[in-house]
Amino acid sequence: MNIAIASDHGGFELKGQLIEYYAKKGIILQDLGTHSTESCDYPLIARKMTNAVLNKEADLGILICGTGIGISIAANRVKGIRAALLYNAEVACLAKQHNNANIVVFGGRTQKFEDVVSYLDAFLNAEFEGGRHLRRIGELDE
């Protein structure tokens, strides 16, 4: 699975921690930026990620801003994107099982690294259930 990761300045530190952690597990996260803690605009970061996902340059995107809220709003404005702000393991599983989220979102200033790893792992280990959920996902883009 090809996974891309991007953040604004509020998620820069968490992004770096995730890249390092998953690299040690043999999983390379493609870094789409930002590359410093200098203030930047999360809508531009979200646009870069949504383009990568829609153009199939990434199978899954991980977005991070200070709270995860702004960047998830920006991503979800794009047709074909299903960005889910993950805040516990159950929600992480359901985001995959029911919504087949193609971008997962975290808050760099509001979530602990260890928690984010457990939520991301729960998401990655879950499987989309299809069925009635597939119909509903189709309705999102109508």
Which residues are catalytically annotated? 98
Contact of 106 with 42, CB cutoff 8 Å = no
d(CA 20, CA 133): 34
- Of 95, 94, 119, residue with least CA distance to 14: 119
Q: Which residues pair with 60 in a beta bridge?
A: 3
